[in-house]
Amino acid sequence: MNLKRTTQEIVGRPYRYALFYNFPGGLRFELSEGGGSPLGEVLTALRKATAICDDVFRKEERILVHLETFALASRFELREKLRELRVAGIVIPNIRDVWVEAQAQTDEDDDDESGYWVSCAFEVPTSKLQNLLWCAFTVDFGSSVGPNPRCRVYLLNMNDGIVVHPYDDRGMDVIGRNMPSLAGLYERHKDLLLAYDLEVMRRTFTSA
């Protein structure tokens, strides 16, 4: 299986961040509640996201994982990320796809710097779900909460054609071309939908 191609084709085209806004018809969930300690925020996000992801992957034995990180020229930074992944219980298997895209970093919270985006796709048992969510939710906390590999985490259900992106402790996007599956998530987890975008989701998933 070409894992890179699968990650790029599962929703019809490649994706990178802000999935809810770049792929209309998805879901955006609110996770941490703000105002607590870093660890408390991560644990709150972990609890809520696990309930949603258990629903997404309940029939699956394996998850296709897509990790993405921006790195500068030094390879030391990548070695540190791999070490943090191992501490988190995520060991990248020999069967994997790795690809690199050289370009400038353009995240709003970071200065533009020349470097490259490194992606790695591989499969893991669904039992590693919480380990992966932890890696996603610690991304903004630096060394205050660890392990923290500081990479983006995308979780893919290949059979249902769904991509889950827990972008940080605050929220999680779920997109895909399987609208009945997304509609089921909308109904079962209404209490976790982000209020700011609720009207957009209501128009998508509620019959007129």
As a whole number, mean pLDDT of residues 65-75 equals 82
pLDDT at 207: 63
Place of tokens 């590693």: 128
DSSP letter for 57, please.
T
Q: Mind listing the pLDDT tens digit for each residue in 6-18?
A: 998 888 888 888 9
Q: What is the mean pLDDT of residues 62-82?
A: 85
What percent of the chain shows pLDDT beyond 70? 91
What residues are paired with 173 via a beta bridge? Answer: 28, 165
pLDDT of residue 70: 87
Residue 208 has pLDDT above 50, yes or no: no
Tally the residues of the chain: 208
Q: How far is Cα 73 from Cα 187, in angstroms, rounded to an integer? A: 46
Average of per-residue pLDDT across 170-191: 95
Give me the domain span that covers residue 91.
Answer: 3-205
Domains: count for the chain = 1
Can you read off the two tokens belonging to residue 149? Answer: 């590999």
Q: Is 133 in contact with 49 (CB distance < 8 Å)?
A: yes
Task: Assign 73 a pLDDT band (cuts: 50, 70, 90).
Answer: low
DSSP state of 172: E
CA distances from 51 to 29, 61, 134, 199 (A): 12, 17, 14, 23
Q: How would residue 71 be classed by pLDDT, with cut points 50, 70 and 90?
A: confident
Residue with tokens 């988190």: 88
> What are the DSSP calls for 108-144, one per residue?
TTS---EEEEEEEEEEEEGGGHHHHHHHHHTTTSTTS
Q: For 98-129, what is each residue's pLDDT tens digit?
A: 999 876 545 544 545 677 889 999 999 999 99
Whether 164 has a pLDDT exceeding 60, the answer reads yes
> CA dihedral in degrees (190, 195, 199, 200; nearest 10)?
-90
Task: Please give the DSSP secondary-structure letter assigned to residue 91.
Answer: -
Q: State residue 74's pLDDT score.
A: 60
The residue that leads in pLDDT, 178 or 174, is 174
